[in-house]
Structure 1
Amino acid sequence: MLLPLALLLVGLWEGRRGLDDLAAVMAEHDRLAQVVADLEARAPRDGRPDFRLQFRHNGKHYGGPLAVAKAREARDDTATLAALMDWRRVLPPIAVAGGAVAAGLSLLVLVAGALLARRGRGSREALVGGFSLMRRLLPAALALQIVAATAAFVAVVVFEAGLLVQGGLTGDGMKLIGIAAVAVGATLLAAGGALRGLRRALDAFEPDPLPILGRPIAPAEAPGLWRLVEGLAERMGALRPEAVVVGLTGGFFVTAGPVELEPGGARLAGRILHLPLPSLALMRGDETAAIIAHELAHYAGGDTAYSQRFLPIYAGVGRSLDAVAARERGALGLFGPSLRLGLFVMERFHLAVRHWSRVREFAADAAGAAVTSRDAAARALLRTGAVAPRIAETLAAAAEAPDAAPPDLVAAVLDHALARGLDDPAAHLETGQAHPTDTHPPTRDRIGALGRAIDADLLAAAGLTPPPHALGQLAAYFADPAGLCRSATADFLEAVRARDAAFHAHLETTAAAVGTEDRVLRANHRPRGLVLAAAGGLFGVVALAVAVFGIPGMLPREATVVLVASLALAVLMLGAGALVLSRGEPVVLILTPDGLAVPGLDRTIAWDDIADLDMTGNHAGIVTRVLLPPEVRWPERLPGRHAVKLDAKRRIVTVPIPLPRGLDRQGFADLIATYQAAAEARRALAGASAPRVPEPA
């Protein structure tokens, strides 16, 4: 609200100033017109010069025929300035209107977002309807606000630039006009980009399929499991799932959106129930039934369909905010109110979504407890947290060494749980259950909502280590549990190997991005030298013209001053240009596959030795600061004049350089990031631990 209101107030202030400026210019024009009429009336009719005619303007004194000519010139200039001041009067109303529209839209969206989000806490249908409405209106409101704020800003800047014209176009005035032109141009470009992004944000959105590492299980392969699921669905009055997927990773969840199974990429759609095999082996039968009933309750309550309806809404609003955020910096912060406005709307609706998520999770817990028992539902919540670390540890070990992994990771999970025991369930009371699309309240709150006290007996039962024959209970669900576990293990290891192969290929591509040759970066002084030489030549031509032809209407003494100044500037700029060109294009940095070679240092700084690196731009180019850890040998300066600076106490090497030839600031940063990523990739390929390789910026 503050920035649009500031533009509105500035517009009102400029409106008063515009009227005053026009009145002052018109008064000056009338005065000069009267002076011209008086001088013309007094001028001799026979054309003889009369030096009694005098005219003073802008600190200069003119006499004779020149006085009449200068008076006419001043009158005409003032008439032109009056026309400009009259046209300038239309700018403040634009600033006022733009600021008012932007502020009004901010207020409207703030109030509408808050009211719709509050209404959404009354029912989920109201929430979806309100958020859907906001998803359609917000991009249009942001676009209109950006147009209004941009128009107001441009009007303010152009109005103020008119003062520079009013005072005469001096050198400093031309610089300020240039700055104003750059600011206006950058703002218009940013506004255009943001509007294009907002238009794309309104396009239709299809959610990407949810990736699941698992395989579908038919009723013939899992007769006991399907009987359990269908029986629970019938007792609860819930829709039965159209497909059941089992795997080793992930938790219990349901979805109604498109799914892509890994490995293989098979697609499924409709109501899908996912079950993790390790949890089925480590949990008791009533606990499994309580969790499955909980998930089926989401179908009964329409929760999955509700989540699917929200996906495109969230995506549309998110894309709108991304479009504004991507252009905010280029608009000198002018789009900040629009961005914060959208974030406010998202926050209001997110709170309402969290409210309903919490309500529905409690309702699903109650439904699960109704068809089993409160004890079973409470134990299931606690035991899920207690078994999760053993499952994660076993799968992580297999992922680290897939070729050495056992053929049945479900059995390996049980062995690991028998050897270490389960986690203390009390340690997971404040965490929420994992889910790929929704958030869950903390376990303590969910058990409290069931009306079951968390006592020592409940915690002991939930944390009890499963018996050695726990795998046997899978036979109650599946026709061939051992074969299914081995197949699921094979799927998991295949996905791991595919991930490792893709990561290895990425490392090779990243390492090869810089090649084996050194990259020599040179200063780009030639354009500056040519510009200076051209400017010097231009001043030389001006000096020659003044020497040969003089300057009509100017006294000889004044013409001599112009001649001397032009010659001095010509000599100075030609000399400076020649000096710059004589320096050639010196080497400023050398990038090697192994490190950064800085002129003036006795050794190359290895990429692996750099603890941190940052870059900042300035008027002269780029300043790169390199932080070296204590264990790395400190470089020394070589004799001679070098720009590099060493701070041994803070272990910082500062390298100020001009922009290298053929690179802008972002291109230079991307190049450094590419070399750093390549060095890290080579280290990973050489057998070191494989950290995440950063992508070039």
Structure 2
Amino acid sequence: MTKAREARDGAGTLVTVMEWRRLLPPVAIGGGAVAAGLSLLVLLAGAGLGRLGRGSRDALVRGFALMRRLLPAALAVQILSATAAFVAVVTFEAGMLVQGGLTGDGMKLLAVAAVAVGATLIAAGGAVLGLRRALDAFEPDPLPILGRAISPAEAPGLWRLVEGLAERMGALKPEALVVGLTDGFFVTAGPAVLEPGERPVSGRILHVPLPLLALMRGDEVAAIVAHELAHYAGGDTAYSQRFLPIYAGVGRSLEAVAARRDGALGVLGPSLRLGAFVMERFHLAVRHWSRKREFAADAAGAAVTSTDASARALLRSGAVAPRVAETLAAAAEAPDAAPPDLVAAVLDRAVARGLDDPAAHLQTGQAHPTDTHPPTSERLAALGRAVDPDLLAAAGIAPPPHALGQLAAYFADPAGLCRAASADFLGAVRARDAAVRADLEAAVAEIGTGERVLRANHRPRGLVLVVAGGLFAAIALAIMIFGVPGIPPRQIVVVAGAAFALAVLMGGAGALVLSRGAPVTLVLSPGSLASPGLDRPIAWGEIADLDMTANHAGVVTRVLLPPGASFPGRRPGRHGVRLDAKRRIVTLAVPMPRGMNPQGFADLIAAYRTAAEARRILAEAAASRPAPARADTAGTLPTEASRPVEAQPA
């Protein structure tokens, strides 16, 4: 009767579980269908709107704006549907484990299923919340420009040239002219900030590079300026300003999904690829219009000057750019030794070394701070100008020594303006160097000068073993005193003996662990990393690479040493050290230090490595110059890392 009642109760539970399982297949099918349907709908919409966008820029902006509003919602619904389907499938399969009774293996599988479902729900919820935040309003940051605004009184000739070309083309006139050294010719209609000094400027802005004004002929400068003004005539700058927030909104939607992808067991992968497809369709349409507008702007520049002037301007800008970049890079490397007039220094370098062969730059696109451009060869082909030896020779001829004098046609005080622009550049370099030096000194100060000893934290494990041993001892004692109903005395002795043996084993192991205390695992110093298992420390500067992997016992750190560094030996004892001299890898299995988690341990190692590198850079800078040291960042300029160093036409 007892067994019958147990069977009846078990059958009732099984019937209840199976009734609930009947509800799960429709959820899985429905969730999958919704996810698949949304995928198909977004694919068709992205492809269709992208195709329409190639026919009209207004259609492109409207379609992309619509997609920006709908895509986050579609991705959110798709993620929720796919997650519901995944959870239903996993739960349905887990219900099968109940049929044969919950064994040990069955409990393990249920635990795995619970972890999978929980991780997926957390990742999906985070992605949906991130998509909600991605719909927030976006304000683009002002475009940083290293330069200074010049008034008509300071640049009467340049303002006359620009305004005259604008009138002939029927284009809007710039509201501000900015001259500088680092960037090429470009226009913008959004907010900008002039550096150094963080001076805000807005409206229609035309940036003019002083080095190119000195190194290019007058008709070439006019062709480039007309090209830039054609962007105003075609509404290109306003179009870019409308498109930037849309791009940013869709991009943030995809970032919200990508941030949770790894923890979702593949459920978020389709949504991420779907969004990437939409971005690719619109990117192709944007690139189509960008190329088309560049060709149109080239044609407009040629119409008000000549085809030869526009072709020479494209080729000569590529030939001049390396001399400009070399001069500015040398000044950035040693600003205290730089000449006060970097424009004159560019000219001197161009006269002494000549220009690059223009033919070597035919397949490169012109650099620009915000847009991309077709290769120069395609732009020349669109102009209808063949690349012949005469054109290449005219574009690559070195400027005469007196070329700097042609700046007088543009500016009231060209020498003073060039020195002021050079001072702006060098001031920005010094400010950048000071900021880098401050960061390096902060990294050194963060770890101090003393050693940090890391110790293993074995106490919790020892206490757990001792407590478990005590529990087994109590169980053995209770069995011996009170017995177990239904078990013969002879078997009770066996059970009690087994429990007592476990108590001795676990209690002894716990006592042994506690007796070890907190042994030293690593010693970190400003100059090196030391382990009790190695016969010598490893200097931070000798480490070519380092990676860490967390496991149940702590962190496994693998250190790669370069061929020139001496390889350490192993000390006797069990210290969790493995040496691979052939591959020059030192593996340190380190228990988790007291009071740390894996991320904190990795951050600590990274801080010591960063401080060692910072100390090296500061020492080299101090040895290389008598003046206050700075960080060695040769070859970079004080503009953003993604900004071009050569001044070129758009």
Give TM class, smaller chain: over 0.9
Structure 2 Cα separation of the partners of residues 547 and 279 of structure 1: 99
> Which stretch has the larger CA shift, 244-253 or 140-149?
140-149
- 1:357-411 per-position Cα deviation (integer Å, ceiling 9, x unaligned): 1000000000000000000000000010111111111111111111111111111
Of 295-304 and 154-163, the range deviating more from structure 2: 154-163
Aligned residue for 1:453, secondary structure, equals coil
The 1-side partners of 2:607 and 2:521 are apart by: 18
1:135 partnered with 2:92: no
- Aligned match of 1:316: 249
* 1:8 corresponding residue in structure 2: none
The AA in structure 1 aligned to 2:151 is A
Map of 1:415 onto structure 2: 348
Q: 1:213 to 1:692 in 2, by over 3 A?
A: closer
Distance, in Å, in 2 between the alignment partners of 1:421 and 1:334 is 59
Shift of 1:267: 0.6
**After the TM superposition, which residues 31-110 of structure 1 pair with which residues of structure 2 at under 5 Å, given as runs?**
68-110=1-43
Q: 1:345 Cα deviation (Å)? A: 1.2
Relative to structure 1, is the Cα distance of residues 82 and 341 closer, same or farther in structure 2, using a 3 angstrom cutoff?
Answer: same
Larger Rg: 1
Q: In the alignment, what sits opposite 1:430?
A: 363
Task: Confirm or deny that 1:583 pairs with 2:551.
Answer: no
Q: Are 1:336 and 2:269 matched, yes or no?
A: yes
The CA deviation at 1:183 is: 2.0
1:519-575 Cα shifts (integer Å, max 9, x gaps) = 222222222222233333334444444444444566767766654554444333333
Amino acid corresponding to residue 352 of structure 1 in structure 2: A
Cα distance, 1:571–1:157 mapped onto 2, change above 3 Å? farther
Of structures 1 and 2, the one scoring higher in RCO (CA 8 A, sep 6+) is 2
What is the 5 A alignment of 1:315-464? 315-464=248-397
Q: Which amino acid aligns with 1:307?
A: S
CA distance change for structure 1 residues 161 and 539 in 2, over 3 Å: closer, same or farther? farther
CA distance in 1, matches of 2:475, 2:5: 27
**In the aligned structure 1, how far is the partner of 2:505 from the partner of 2:97?**
29
Distance in 1 separating the partners of 2:307 and 2:285: 28
Q: Does 2:598 align with 1:665?
A: yes
Instruction: Quote the residue 2:225 is aligned against.
Output: 292
Matches within 5 A, 1:10-21: none
> Secondary structure at the residue paired with 2:137?
coil
Letter in structure 2 aligned against 1:369: A
State the match for 2:646 in structure 1: none
Q: Tell me the distance in 1 between the aligned counterparts of 2:69 and 2:632.
A: 42
Distance of aligned partners of 1:400 and 1:453 in 2 relative to their CA distance in 1, 3 Å threshold: same
2:459 maps to 526
Whichever residue aligns with residue 475 of structure 1, its letter is: A
Using the alignment, how far apart are the partners of 1:495 and 1:166 within structure 2?
Answer: 74
Secondary structure at the residue paired with 1:458? helix
2:570 match: secondary structure: coil
Q: 1:548 to 1:183 in 2, by over 3 A?
A: farther
Partner residue of 1:513?
Answer: 446
Q: Does 1:194 align with 2:138?
A: no
Distance, in Å, in 2 between the alignment partners of 1:556 and 1:337 is 64
2:259 is paired with a residue whose SS is helix
Matching residue within 148, 167, 170 for 1:215: 148
Segment drifting more, 283-292 vs 551-560: 551-560
TM-score (norm 2): 0.93
Q: Alpha-carbon deviation of 1:457?
A: 0.5
**1:644 and 2:644 are equivalent in the alignment:** no
Q: How does 1:602-641 map to 2 (within 5 A)?
A: 602-641=535-574
Which amino acid is 1:395 matched to? L
Question: What is the match of residue 109 of structure 2?
Answer: 176
In 2 relative to 1, CA 355–554 (structure 1 residues): closer, same or farther, beyond 3 Å? farther
Which of 271, 280, 283 matches 2:216? 283
Q: Distance in 2 between matches of 1:673 and 1:591?
A: 11
Q: For residue 335 of structure 1, report the CA deviation from its aligned partner.
A: 1.2
Shift of 1:325: 1.1
Instruction: Go from structure 1 to structure 2 and tell me whether the alpha carbon gap of 1:428 and 1:635 turns closer, same or farther (over 3 Å shift).
Output: same
Question: 1:192-271 residue pairs with structure 2 within 5 A?
Answer: 192-271=125-204
Tell me the secondary structure at the aligned position of residue 339 of structure 2.
coil
Query: What secondary structure does 1:513 align onto?
Result: helix
Which ranges of structure 1 fall in alignment gaps of 5 or more residues?
1-67
The amino acid of 1:662's aligned partner reads G
Matched letter for residue 565 of structure 2: V
1:504 aligns with one of 430, 437, 441: 437
Q: Give the Cα–Cα distance (whole angstroms) in 2 for the partners of residues 467 and 142 of structure 1.
A: 61
Superposition deviation, residue 180 in structure 1: 2.2
Alpha carbons 2:333, 2:633 under 8 Å: kept: no
Q: Is the alpha carbon distance of 1:581 and 1:154 closer, same or farther for their aligned partners in structure 2, counting shifts above 3 Å?
A: farther
Give the direction of change, closer, same or farther, for the CA distance of 1:617–1:514 in structure 2 (3 Å limit).
same
Aligned length: 626
Partner amino acid, structure 2, of 1:579 = L
- The TM-score with structure 1 as length reference comes to 0.87
Quote the offset at 1:641 in angstroms. Answer: 2.7
- Tell me which amino acid in the other structure corresponds to 2:314: L
Compared CA separation, residues 288 and 497, structure 1 to 2 (3 A)? same
Root-mean-square deviation (Å): 1.9
SS in 1 for 2:177: strand
